[in-house]
A and B are shown apart, each in its own frame.
Chain A
Amino acid sequence: AQSVTQPDIHITVSEGASLELRCNYSYGATPYLFWYVQSPGQGLQLLLKYFSGDTLVQGIKGFEAEFKRSQSSFNLRKPSVHWSDAAEYFCAVGPHNYGQNFVFGPGTRLSVLP
């Protein structure tokens, strides 16, 4: 069965500092991987996705993520965090086959100090 873990429930960084949010997955084949961001009271917005090819993917808002098959990881990074990045971040594995659904991690809440 597919599963997604995000080891950090809450991370606090200072504005301008670098950021890395961790995501580990369990899946039998090469997964479809996603990162979403959710601001309070809003839906989820797609930041980036990995389907195949280059293991370093670029997304919106200056985010990037790297797929590491050997570590079953898909960590999200940003070199310099802005106050507006404070939000909840969800990693997800997407469906390969007709009978599968998205599996979301529990989320990591990011706080940004001025």
Chain B
Amino acid sequence: EADIYQTPRYLVIGTGKKITLECSQTMGHDKMYWYQQDPGMELHLIHYSYGVNSTEKGDLSSESTVSRIRTEHFPLTLESARPSHTSQYLCASSESRGGSAFFGQGTRLTVV
């Protein structure tokens, strides 16, 4: 069973606040990803990691940052939230090559 968890599921926060979206996986996957997705729209890769102490920027420019201190944990941080950050954020993990991607349930972020 694929286990990847995101918290919180829903978050409403005021402009200027700092937030951290959590993502954890129990599959021992080296590679982890963050995607941004507006409702009914395509997925945009914003960050990924090959393993511990590795972080890379994705195809879509994002003001968020990520860290990978432990294999299982890949949190995403917004230092100062803005209404333009309102979106759904999906975390995923996979083997480095040749495997399937497994997704968390997503965090729906609303910045007011």
Contact = CB atoms under 8 A, between A and B. Distances in A.
Contacts of B92: 43-44, 102
B48 A94 contact: no
B98 A104 contact: no
Nearest to A105: B42
Contacts of B90: 43-44
Contact of A107 (B42, B88, B100): B42
A45 B103 contact: yes
B21 to A, nearest CB: 13
A30 to B, nearest CB: 12
Interface in A31-59: 32, 34, 36, 40-46, 49, 51
Q: Which of the four size classes fits the interface of chain A?
A: 20 to 34
A101 B48 contact: yes
B105 A94 contact: no
A43 B33 CA distance: 13
Contacts of B43: 44, 90, 104
Interface in B14-65: 33, 39-43, 45, 48, 50, 58
The winner among B58, B88, B100, B103 for most chain A CB atoms within 10 A is B100
Contact of B94 (A36, A40, A97, A102): A102
Contact of A43 (B41, B58, B98, B106): B106
Interface of B: 6, 33, 39-43, 45, 48, 50, 58, 88, 90, 92, 94, 96-106, 108
Interface of A: 32, 34, 36, 40-46, 49, 51, 88, 90, 92, 94-98, 100-102, 104-107, 109
